[in-house]
Amino acid sequence: MRHYTRAEWTSYLHDVLSESEREQYDQHLYSCEECLALYMECLEDGKTSLPLLTDEQQFADAVMVELSRHGMPAVRPQIVSREPKRSQVKPWYQQTIFHYGVAAAITLILMSAGVFQQVFAVSTHLTASTQGEQQSSFSDRLMQKAVTVIDTIRLSEQRR
């Protein structure tokens, strides 16, 4: 990869290169960190030789006019208001406090009807029955069945 010299970057800054050379320099800046650093140094050194911007608004308007000449729409920045608009206020049934109130009311109804006690009783019964089944594990039951099958085969061979 060829690196450009300080003099070449200075000529790039002063816009004395042809359009094709400028494109080559642009592409090189995207891929070379060393030349980008050198370009930034040249830019800092040449800061005093660059024209000063006296009226920023006039410059911005001139850029927008030039953009519209090239077929690009002139984009004006929109100022975003931080104040909530009246149309953004949610109706009462979409408010969070309403949802909490409904959830609390449903919970009280279920508690007074005894639904939670019944669920607790069923879960206790299921836990007790599951613990009884766990005393003989699956592998133990499988082993017992295998031993039974082997014993059956031995008995049938002995009878012959």
Total-model pTM: 0.33
| Burial class for 12, CB neighbours closer than 10 Å (0-12, 13-18, 19+) | buried
Q: What is the pLDDT of residue 42?
A: 86
Q: What's the longest Cα–Cα distance across the chain? A: 115
> Identity (one letter) of the amino acid at 35?
C
CB within 8 A of 28, min separation 6: which ones?
A: 4, 35
What are 87-128's pLDDT values in tens digits? Answer: 678 888 888 999 999 999 999 999 999 888 888 888 888 887
| Closest alpha carbon to 39 in 2, 18, 8 | 8
Q: Answer yes or no: is pLDDT of 60 > 80.
A: yes
Q: Answer yes or no: is pLDDT of 4 > 70.
A: yes
Rounded to an integer, the average pLDDT of 61-76 is 76
| 51 or 40: which leads in pLDDT | 40
Hey, which of 26-35, 40-49, 85-94 has the most confident mean pLDDT? Answer: 26-35
Q: Residue 64 CB: number of other CB atoms within 10 A?
A: 15
| Terminal C-alpha separation, the chain | 90
Q: How many residues in total does the chain contain?
A: 160
Q: What is the pLDDT of residue 85?
A: 58
| Closest alpha carbon to 14 in 45, 60, 57 | 45
Q: Answer yes or no: is pLDDT of 133 > 60.
A: no
Whole-number average pLDDT of the chain: 82
- Report the alpha-carbon distance of residue 54 to residue 49 in Å, rounded: 15
Q: What is the pLDDT of residue 2?
A: 83
